[in-house]
Each structure stands twice: as C-alpha cells, then as structure tokens.
Amino acid sequence: ATRAPRRLAVPAYDAARRAFWRLRRENPALTRTPEPWMCLLRCASKAGAFEDSYAIADAAFCAAKPQFEANENGCSDDVAILLCEVAVNTRRAAACNATFDAARAIGFLYEDPPPPPEAFDVMIRCSQLQQLPER
C-alpha cells in the first residue's frame, strides 16, 4: 500500500500552493513559464518539503520545457540549487550530491555564465553534513 505524502503545516508554503493552483486555473498559459514554478519551488524548499520540491521541479520542467532546457535567466541552475538546499536542510546529503552531479552532467551549473555562489555554498554544507572535507 502506498502512503499519502505528509502534509506540512507551513503557512507560507500552503498559501503559495493555493495561489499557484488558483493561477493555474485562471491563467494556464502563465504556468508554462518558469517564474510561477520557481516561486512555488522556493517556498517548498524553504519549508523543507523534500518530496514536494522534487515533484514541483519535475512538473515545472514538463510545463516549461523549452525555457528550462535553455536555462533562461539561470532558471535550471536555480532549480538545482533549491533542490540541493532542501536535501541538505532535511539531512539528505546523498540526494544533494546526486542532484548537483546530475545538474553538472546535463550542462547546468557550469562556467558560462558562472554558477552563483549559492551552488557551492550548499555543496560545502553538504560536505560538512557528510563530513567529507575532500569533496
């Protein structure tokens, strides 16, 4: 039997989720751009909603695929960083490493343009969590 996902009692995240779904009903074309998805993902990440964050990222890539593939305005880099942050914040260092490595493997978080410092800050926190100074 599958278990229902745990509901988080985080008012800001709950409000963002309700606003996002209202926006999606009222103006579906807007949710075919990265911006509303990124707002929702930021809220989920800050709330520590690990499973929700990965599901939101997956849905965002499907809904706004051309923009994410082109990494418009660094949106794909931001997704990778937010997923790494929620993984570290929920003490899932292996998920953080896998996400970071996968993002680099498919061409995100590279030198042109340079990745934001947050990308490396979160990896330092991940290494500290795993106690791996060499990473």
**Overall pTM surpassing 0.85 (yes/no):** no
Q: pLDDT tens digits, residue range 71-115?
A: 888 888 899 999 999 999 999 999 999 998 888 888 887 767 777
- Report the pLDDT averaged over residues 123-130: 86
Q: Share the mean pLDDT of the chain.
A: 85
- Quickly list DSSP for the chain: -PPPPPPP--HHHHHHHHHHHHHHHH-GGGGGSHHHHHHHHHHHHHHT-HHHHHHHHHHHHHHTHHHHHTTGGGHHHHHHHHHHHHHHHTT-HHHHHHHHHHHHHTT-S-SSSPPPHHHHHHHHHHHHHHT-TT-
